[in-house]
Structure 1
């Protein structure tokens, strides 16, 4: 059974490069993201989350007089700090790296487009109701930067330095389709979320999202983000890319579960019990 699974996997991905760095990054990316997803389910939310205060006992504890002050950025500035270095890394690889194969060119292009879209959303789509601490923005920034660099470097090692043969099953075309579907669906549902946010000067009010797949799940934007990274993994077909995507899927599954619980707490009498968190009719 194990040999059969290994045989199937070997037809889908490049052999893992003999690199301690890439092996470590594959393990770290998966475990850290999966652990973050478990933390979301347990109620330990990231500090920029709208439901960070939900069931967080620390928020009801008396404040210490000498409590350390946290430097806070605006929501927009915090997200730009998080996304811009990863975009610069991907764009630099696209412009200045020698792409001797289509796969590495597609990977750099996909990552550049992904983070460019995020930066444009920060500027023109998202609306913000709070700030982000520097102690939160910097780790997110480093996570995106390291994952982007690792994905590009792992592809470079496999395709150009070590010259591994292409996987028996070529997933590049399917990856492009998934990437386009994911990035488009994510943008559309972010737009729907922005339309329901309060305008500057108006009283802050939360609503149950409507339209698109919001009629079936509470976090379709997360579903499409997972689809985006699944497309990137299919384009890359490296162990690191699939490890990062698996970790991301587990994290966003935990976050969507926490989001659904938050909406149920806010709209106890109006939240449809049939609404799923992430996958229509399933989860």
Structure 2
């Protein structure tokens, strides 16, 4: 605990402390849902059998529009923070830059990289979009308030920059490899190959985890750390579900390929 308090500053308010705990608990619950088969209603292995007649529940976005709907508010929040919080230190500038770049990259990939074959349920799209927006906004606001606390005893922001750049680059590269698996008009799924796909089924998630660990090191704020832990929990669970799905669909899926961490899990 002493080391944790030395590296990561305590949140500047009880409310942010509570939201840090809520974030970890909620993401752990969603991760358990992925592992146990209760998937969010946008994945290729979501069980689409439902008898709910609610109009919103049964309404769908196209995948491309749905992903833009999910990511754009958080990107705009990051962009607006440059104007809303003009007086900031270097660490705060690094954090809002990293978050804005992260969501800009996602929007860029939605428009120019990803290929789609499905749709996203409107209710799930709204929940996910709000989740990203609220978490991004709290992370930015918490960092803004934390400027008055002074610098942590151990400075991790430069290591954080390195991890963020490695994470965002590796994530983009493996998304690019996924996009090249299908020719225009093709909708069938294939076993991913190339890069770290030869070792894990979800290397793009592994690099996304690295990116958010980097953001937590840039911030050195407990809320950013709680968000990174939540990302680790969720993407680990989702990777497990993804590997399970591939094993069920492809008899020749290589058994040695792990879910997310090479040689381990």
Q: Does 1:213 align with 2:196?
A: yes
Question: Which 5+ residue runs of structure 1 have no aligned equivalent?
Answer: 1-5
Q: 1:72 deviation in Å? A: 1.2
Q: How many residues matched?
A: 263
Q: Residue in 2 aligned with 1:15?
A: 10
Deviation digits for residues 28-77 of structure 1, max 9, x if unmatched? 11111111111000001111100113xxxx72x7x58xx23322111011
Q: 1:97 deviation in Å? A: 1.5
Q: Secondary structure at the match of 1:11?
A: helix
Q: 1:198 deviation in Å? A: 4.5
Deviation digits for residues 80-138 of structure 1, max 9, x if unmatched? 11000000000111234124310000000000000000000000001111111210111
Q: Does 1:166 align with 2:151?
A: yes
The alignment's TM-score, normalised by the length of structure 1, stands at 0.90
Rounded to whole Å, the distance in 2 between the matches of 1:41 and 1:76 is 26
1:194-233 superposed matches below 5 A:
194-200=179-185, 202=186, 204-233=187-216
Q: Does 1:264 align with 2:254?
A: no
Question: Which 5+ residue runs of structure 2 have no aligned equivalent?
Answer: none
Greater shift, 227-236 or 26-35, is seen at 26-35
| Pairing partner for 1:279 from 249, 261, 265 | 261
Q: Residue in 1 aligned with 2:171?
A: 186
Q: Residue in 2 aligned with 1:3?
A: none
Deviation digits for residues 158-198 of structure 1, max 9, x if unmatched? 11xxx112111100000000000000000000011111134
Q: Residue in 2 aligned with 1:131?
A: 119
Larger radius of gyration between Structure 1 and Structure 2: 1
Rounded to whole Å, the distance in 1 between the matches of 2:152 and 2:14 is 22
Q: Does 1:84 align with 2:69?
A: no
